[in-house]
Amino acid sequence: MEKSELASFIHSEVASAIKKQRETLEIIIPNEASPYYTIEKLRVLFNKTSATIHNWIKEGRIKKYKVGRNTFFKKSEIDRLIDL
């Protein structure tokens, strides 16, 4: 394999790996238009610590949804709590 062929092969393999990683991240990490909040977003929204958010989960005040090791909260459920 010549140098230019190797470079082209490496470029296409890296591009493919990056594309797959982006698709995975879009599933795991919701964007701004997502119907879910992360713990970090709730922490900022309510101006509370992560420990407080975890306590609310334990107390049943909010319901969590797990995807692997990631925790999410339905935006509609949280927005309903804010409106109360």
What pLDDT digit, counting tens, does each position of 40-53 carry? 889 988 899 999 99
Whether residues 36 and 12 fall in one domain: no
Position 35 confidence tier, pLDDT thresholds 50, 70, 90: confident
Percentage of the chain beyond pLDDT 70 is 86
Instruction: Give the pLDDT confidence score for residue 84 in this predicted structure.
Output: 62
Domain extent for 43: 31-84
CA distance 66 to 81: 20
Q: Give me the CATH number covering residue 40.
A: 1.10.10
pTM for the predicted model, two decimal places: 0.57
Of 64, 81, 72, which Cα lies nearest the Cα of 37? Answer: 72
Instruction: Give the pLDDT confidence score for residue 28 in this predicted structure.
Output: 52
Per the structure, how many domains does the chain have?
A: 2
Residue 15 has pLDDT above 60, yes or no: yes
Instruction: Give the pLDDT confidence score for residue 82 in this predicted structure.
Output: 81
